[in-house]
Amino acid sequence: MSEEATRKLTLDLAGKTAVVTGSTQGIGLAIARRLAEAGADVVVNGRDPERVARTVDSLAGLAVRGAAADVTSAEGAQALVDAAGTVDVLVNNLGIFGSTPALEIDDDEWRRFFDVNVLSAARLTRLVLPGMTDRGWGRVLNIASDSAIVIPEEMIHYGASKSALLAMSRGFAKAAAGSGVTVNSVIAGPTHTEGVEDFVYEMVDRLLDWEAAQREFMRTARPQSLIGRLIEPEEIANMVVYLSSPLASATTGGALRVDGGYVDSILP
């Protein structure tokens, strides 16, 4: 058998520095772990220095370091980039969500969701993209949501912010055209995290055990899902690692779905 036939596909990020915002728990933590397992030097980020330190300790044995910074401010974003050094992979994972009746979402809440979910990602991308394009290689990943496409009645401010994130990803991909840098968004479906557990119990009977509550939530609130369960954070992380790797060199400006078939559409 020829060498070409026996060559294996490998997700090798050795020598690359990856920054993952909001990575002390949930999807962000899973992404940080998977990137480090693929060989990257990973910078874990969150606002609380103690929590960041505990997260780094929990990933002992992997090339992980911490940088506590609030990237919803210009100062915090710059501090994170300065601490990371040369950034080869940026994963804008930081995000907030919550349910509020549409007519009760005031201007301050709208601004807060866009500040955290959109502007923090735009700010960091502006800081790292010039260096990536100068070096001729880089990856920017924005973690979006199925709510960007199927706007939930109970949290339209969240859905709208994630729609904006998809548009922003496409725009920055055009800004990086022809440079060897790719910019993509990952559309995460209903995912099993601590925060989502709380959200599920807001929507179903709190007296149910977790397995029963999850089934009831998927049946009543997310019946479009084709897998009929919440997605595990590692399943989102697997897509992120692929898109961060050299193997994904022809994928840019895209919105890649890891949604369990929730969005009833062929594209994106």
Whether 158 sits among the annotated catalytic residues: the reply is yes
**Peptide bond before 268: cis, by omega within 30 degrees of 0?**
yes
Annotate 175-244 with three-state secondary structure. HCCCCCEEEEEEEECCECCHHHHHHHHHHCCCCCCHHHHHHHHHHHCCCCCCCCCCECHHHHHHHHHHHH
Which of 158, 201, 242, 262 does the annotation list as catalytic?
158
| Structure tokens that stand for 144 in this block | 């979006």
- Cβ of 114: how many Cβ atoms within 10 Å? 17
| Structure tokens that stand for 162 in this block | 């994630």
- Cβ of 180: how many Cβ atoms within 10 Å? 13
State the DSSP H helix or E strand holding residue 16, giving kind and residue range, or none if neither: none
The answer to whether 30 and 236 are in contact (CB under 8 A) is yes
Cβ neighbours for 56, distance < 8 A, ≥ 6 positions apart = 44, 64, 65, 66
**Which residues are tagged catalytic?**
158
